[in-house]
Amino acid sequence: MPSPWGWFAVTACGAQRNNFEEPVALQEMDTSNGVLLPFYDPDSSIVYLCGKGDSSIRYFEITDEPPFVHYLNTFSSKEPQRGMGFMPKRGLDVSKCEIARFYKLHERKCEPIIMTVPRKSDLFQDAEPVLISLRDGYVPPKHRELRVTKRNILDVRPPSGPRRSQSASDAPLSQHTLETLLEEIKALRERVQAQEQRITALENMLCELVDGTD
């Protein structure tokens, strides 16, 4: 009995065929019982098939003409993969003609697997990118946009009219006024000290009178 990914099916879409009910090609893989982890590269039209618990990576080229699926090669290693990750194209080393990079998850480590296309020349080979129209790709919503405005304290400026006159409490103290206040405070302090001495003398006299009476 074949496994869940014993058969690899390719469904074509586009102008030639848009029927998703039947696959245009079937490719028999093996009888492994692992879960299929597919990774498709639209730039090179290559699909990589990694099986969880398997130790190999099979990759095929997908074309628009029959037989649609072309087997390329198989990468095999000793240890099975517990998981697999795919590096985005911006992280590849183009100077080494790297077209794909996988990260194979082991029990205690992560092993990078690099896919390259060897070339005789070290020069960078330009390639036309696959472009699609985004004319109808995004339709802005009709609901009202939410805008948050924060008041800037620097926008509040003083009035440009004539400057109001300062009150007596806001006016700075002159040197003469300050000296006068200091003299009044000194005189008041001396008067308080004299009153304290007088009160002390009266209390002593009162104590003597009370003691003489007793």
Q: Which pLDDT tens digit goes with each residue over 5-49?
A: 455 555 544 334 566 777 777 877 766 667 888 999 988 899 999
Helix (H) or strand (E) holding 112: strand 110-116
Q: Let me know: does 47 contact 41? Beta carbons within 8 Å.
A: yes
Four-residue CA torsion sign, 117, 40, 25, 59: positive
The residue type of 202 is L
| Lookup: tokens for 157 | 């400026």
| Lookup: tokens for 98 | 């790297």
Phi, psi of 112 (to 5 degrees): -80, 135
Name the band, by pLDDT with cuts 50, 70 and 90, for residue 179.
confident
CA distance 161 to 163: 6
CA distance 54 to 30: 11
* Stated pTM of the model: 0.52
Q: Where are the domains of the chain?
A: 7-116, 182-214
CA distance 203 to 214: 17
Position 142 scores a pLDDT of 72
Single out the residue of 39, 23, 191, 19 nearest to residue 115, CA to CA.
Answer: 39
Q: Is 126 exposed, middle or buried (0-12, 13-18, 19+ CB in 10 A)?
A: exposed
Position 3 scores a pLDDT of 41
DSSP assigned state of 155: G
Alpha-helix runs per DSSP H in the chain: 175-213
162 to 113, 155, 158: CA distances (angstroms):
78, 20, 11
CA distance 188 to 174: 21
Least confident interval from 62-66, 68-72, 81-85, 154-158? 154-158
